[in-house]
Amino acid sequence: MEGKNRNERKLSGQVLFIGAVLIAGTLFAACGGGGGSGSSGVIDPGLTIQDQSLDLTRQIRINSAGVLSDAWLVIFEDNSGVPAVTTVAVKGLARASYSNLKVGLDRPALDGELFHVALHDDLGAVGMWEPGIDTPMLDDMNNPVADSLIVSVPVGTPGVRLTVSNVGSSHYRWIAVEPDNVTGVVTIGTNDPALILSLDERYEIVNRATGSHPFELRSVSTTLLSEQTTGTLEADSGISWTDNGSGVVRFTATSTLDALLTAYRCFNHPLAMIGTAGIQ
């Protein structure tokens, strides 16, 4: 029954959404209305999305998108089955066919949340999202290129994923941050940069060098969280530390961790592979 209700909710939202976008497009025109793989060959205009269980609370996946000219992929919050004014993501897309497109959200998604997704033409100042000017993109049947999805968010799902590797036994080097709209956490491609976490955000760290270079978070004199040993905060329920034993750890950057955290380092090479860490 729950699955049926979820499907009915989504279908109802999609029908109302198309009507709302068509009306919005007409009104916008009257007012003067301009991460995944992409290819610029033959393009089939459209948008394909599926309900999904998130592996990051701040990122959803678009199955496919066909964009005939510069456009915006816009994700709206729900308002009783129709898109609200509030957006949770605006991503610029060039002319191309996209598949498995990852889109970062401005906030964590909630379990069971309904989102509305639409393509809008970039008609105003190029490269600047302008609601009311950048009108909904229409397909060959003059319908808005739009869809809806419901997300599920398992308990403990992180919002941000950081991937780290090593330079021999001399340095850690961070190689990726997801979603791609998250900035300021760590400098990609440099040796042992500062790690700056956000308070109350949940993180996943993927350590590509876990066997030889176990990752840990430290205070000035104490191991707080570690792949190799037992850190003093690993039992803290708010931090909710998990370690799968294969290089993937998760934790929440709480005020308790903030009060003590000063550095990250390699358990095996603590004087070489080390960088400052903090929460803001």
Structure confidence at residue 278 as a pLDDT band (50, 70, 90): very high
Run of H or E residues at 88: strand 82-93
pLDDT at position 41: 63
| pTM across the whole model | 0.85
- Matching CATH topology for 2-152 and 160-279? yes
End-to-end CA distance of the chain: 43
pLDDT digits (tens, 9 = 90+) for 230-243: 999 999 999 999 99
- Supply the mean pLDDT for the chain: 89
CATH class name, domain 160-279: mainly beta
More confident position, 64 or 29? 64
pLDDT at position 139: 87
pLDDT at position 121: 96
Residue found under tokens 């992180």 = 158
pLDDT at position 21: 44
- Would you kindly state where each structural domain of the chain is located, as residue ranges? 2-152, 160-279
Taking CA atoms, 128 is separated from 71, 83, 205, in Å, by 10, 21, 33
Q: What letters, b where the CB count within 10 A reaches 16 and e where it falls short, cover 109-140?
A: beeebbbbbbbbbbbbeeeebbbebbbbbbee
pLDDT digits (tens, 9 = 90+) for 23-59: 333 333 323 333 555 665 678 789 999 999 999 999 9
Are the C-beta atoms of residues 60 and 180 closer than 8 Å to each other?
A: no
Which long-range contacts link 240-248 to residues 24+ away (Cβ below 8 Å)? Answer: 240/156, 240/202, 242/156, 246/210, 247/206, 247/207, 247/208, 247/209, 247/210, 247/211, 248/204, 248/205, 248/206, 248/207
**Nearest-10 Cα torsion for 35, 77, 106, 165:** -50
Distance from C-alpha of 109 to C-alpha of 56, rounded to nearest angstrom: 9
CATH numeric code, 2-152 = 2.60.40
pLDDT digits (tens, 9 = 90+) for 152-171: 999 999 999 999 999 999 99
Distance from C-alpha of 229 to C-alpha of 223, rounded to nearest angstrom: 8
Tokens matching residue 235: 């039992």
Helices marked H in the chain: 2-30, 255-258
Run of H or E residues at 61: strand 59-67
3-state secondary structure of 10: helix
Structure confidence at residue 20 as a pLDDT band (50, 70, 90): very low
pLDDT at position 43: 81
CA atoms within 13 A on the CB side of 250: 16
